[in-house]
Structure 1
Amino acid sequence: MTKHSLGWIGMGRMGYPMAERLLKAGHSVAIWNRTRAKAEPLAKKGGQIVDHPSELSGKDIVFTMVSTGKDLEQVYFGENGLVATSSGPRPKILVDCSSIGVEQSEAIRARLKQLGCEFISSPVSGNGKCVKAGKLSTVVSGPKAAFDEVEPYLKTIAASGVSYVGEGELSRICKIAHNVFLGVVIQNLAEITILAQKAGVPRHAFLDFMNASVLGSTFTKYKSNALVNLDWTTTFTPALLRKDLDLGLKAARDLDVAMPVTAATREALQSHFGAATLKPDPAAHLEKDFAALLETVALAAGLKLAPENVPMPTGLETEG
């Protein structure tokens, strides 16, 4: 079924189910991950596990899903990197689905262009459960001809939607804007949920109402179970959210855009880091999901939270 030979780098909470979707769709995928054991289960589903990123250099298209821009530079240009050698084959197109800064992405794009490789920026919206449920989406920028080649594979990975927004790093700006909105929404959702609870409304009843209203969304629905039952299983950390809010505010300053709501949200989120020092293990608390900031809002309101033990539908039932 595969028109191109495919490679994949990164088997974290997102990368694993994303690569798995390509394999389930019948594509042949060669995979590298820093910790090989995390990739090995995909060998049973047809994945070819390699020992170094450089072993993917002969593939037509290589996808990456890593944590930071520095990680991306390392797997591309570092020792045994994907395009580290001065000669030999190189992938025609590199597709990065990670969330990295605009300036880092620009620098990487320039280096790849000198090596004859096209670079597609394709950051995604959603978490691992969204991937499995077919509700991941992605925003894409880069050369249009290269996008046209990778679009069918992106539609397999991000079944909810693939939005091409233009050349260069425009998708990075869109992802930063997306995560700014994420921060504003979760902060305000926590505030109004605590407001309702302090007035006497159970969290599950209030969120059931919100989710059924015109303001309900995929996000409010799949976060409701966490907010009701205090399940802070990590999908996205407060530190990563803070980083994205800072990136958004930097972009706003650079482009002369006033973003007072974002600035207020950034400072509200900072209080979560201060509140963490009151926990027995502050570092572990800050590794929990960003929705745990509900506890910080409750603390400021003089409330001590307990799980309501009412299962809430998430809307993220896995496909197939």
Structure 2
Amino acid sequence: MSANTQKLGWIGVGRMGYQMAERLLTAGHDVSIWNRTKSKAEPLAKLGGKVVDNPVDLGGVDILFTIVSTGSDLEEIYFGENGIVTKANGKLPGTFVDCSTISVDDSVRIRERLNRKGIDFIASPVSGNGQVIKAGKLSAVVSGPEARAKAVMPLIEVFAPKCVSYVGDGELARICKIAHNVMLGVVIENLIEITLLANKMGVPRHAFLAFINNSVMGSMFTAYKTPALVNLDWKTTFTPELLRKDLDLGLELGREWDIPMPITAATREVLQSHMGRAATKQNADMILAGDFAQMAETMAEFSGMTLKSEKKNVPSGLES
């Protein structure tokens, strides 16, 4: 069965999931969609998406994609009281592809339960955010049964055209994504530290970050966080709570496998200080639900600084 004739199911249309499903629809795929808050999925109907009322309504699709916040969310959607597997009256998708960032243990447990039903489980967590998806630069890492994983990779490439890497069987993709997000936390922490140091000593943030981005140390990540750090635009791409979850997952693996992770541990403590600061601020919800890079304001406060937007039109590196 060719990719464009397969019926796809999609669960989860948050900041990432909406645009990923949108790309599949724009590419001409048949996609049925369920989201806990139905109204968030309804705009996709204009692109041909079939918005359904319950997860079980996706039982007739060939491949089911999911992207949710936690392993417990995923288990609830699959096996909860109203889960697609629990409520299935007949055919279930032969392949479940999960793009969430969840723990290795959760993934193992879910895989075993799906395998008992004759369902292949493909782990395919992604790297990026809504801006990255829009720019066509999302990437993904994939693990699971090799033949099945490689069969669905052309579909994953529709929303992750930058790179799709198959790393092996089982939960290896989960390990890669947890390691990736640990690096995300450590890099933003250090980028904020050195930016504040240069800024406090008189270097404008936009000038310092332009130097970094054009140096050997620059990256897609340092570039696309530059507008936020320069202009204090904390529009959410990834929340502090989700980053803390991922740092904790990384630290847990480090303890289990006897890998010292002191830099990760220190980053986790700074992040916790940022989240704790919310309790003393009137804009607590904005801090907790805002972007993780807003940690810059907390670290500036610790440094005796008050940040102000530099109001500069700086490139993000994601421009066409």
Please indicate the TM-score interval, normalised by the length of the shorter structure. Answer: over 0.9
Q: Aligned to 2:235, which of 233, 236, 246?
A: 233
Distance, in Å, in 1 between the alignment partners of 2:23 and 2:50 is 15
Match of 2:309 in 1: 307
Match of 1:131 in 2: 133
| Secondary structure of 2:84's aligned partner | coil
TM-score where L is the length of structure 1: 0.96
Residue 114 in 1 paired to residue 110 in 2? no
Give the partner amino acid of 2:271: L
Q: Aligned to 1:186, which of 185, 188, 198?
A: 188
Match of 2:33 in 1: 31
Counting only pairs closer than 5 Å after superposition, residues 204-219 of structure 1 correspond to structure 2 as 204-219=206-221
| Secondary structure of 2:86's aligned partner | coil
Match of 1:74 in 2: 76
Match of 2:290 in 1: 288
Distance, in Å, in 1 between the alignment partners of 2:171 and 2:153 is 17
Residue 105 in 1 paired to residue 92 in 2? no
Alignment gaps of 5+ in structure 2: none
Counting only pairs closer than 5 Å after superposition, residues 228-307 of structure 1 correspond to structure 2 as 228-307=230-309
Q: Aligned to 1:58, which of 57, 60, 74?
A: 60
| Secondary structure of 1:302's aligned partner | coil
Alignment gaps of 5+ in structure 1: none
Residue 203 in 1 paired to residue 175 in 2? no
Q: Aligned to 1:166, which of 162, 165, 168?
A: 168
Runs of 4+ with >4 A deviation: none
Match of 1:316 in 2: 318
Distance, in Å, in 2 between the alignment partners of 1:213 and 1:190 is 17
| Secondary structure of 2:236's aligned partner | coil
Distance, in Å, in 1 between the alignment partners of 2:109 and 2:71 is 10
| Secondary structure of 1:204's aligned partner | helix
| Secondary structure of 1:84's aligned partner | helix
| Secondary structure of 2:142's aligned partner | strand
Match of 1:150 in 2: 152
Shift of 1:230: 0.4
TM-score where L is the length of structure 2: 0.96
Aligned CA RMSD, in angstroms, stands at 1.3
Distance, in Å, in 2 between the alignment partners of 1:148 and 1:196 is 47
Distance, in Å, in 1 between the alignment partners of 2:213 and 2:5 is 42
Q: Give the fraction of aligned pairs with identical amino acids, expressed as a percent.
A: 62
Distance, in Å, in 1 between the alignment partners of 2:190 and 2:78 is 39
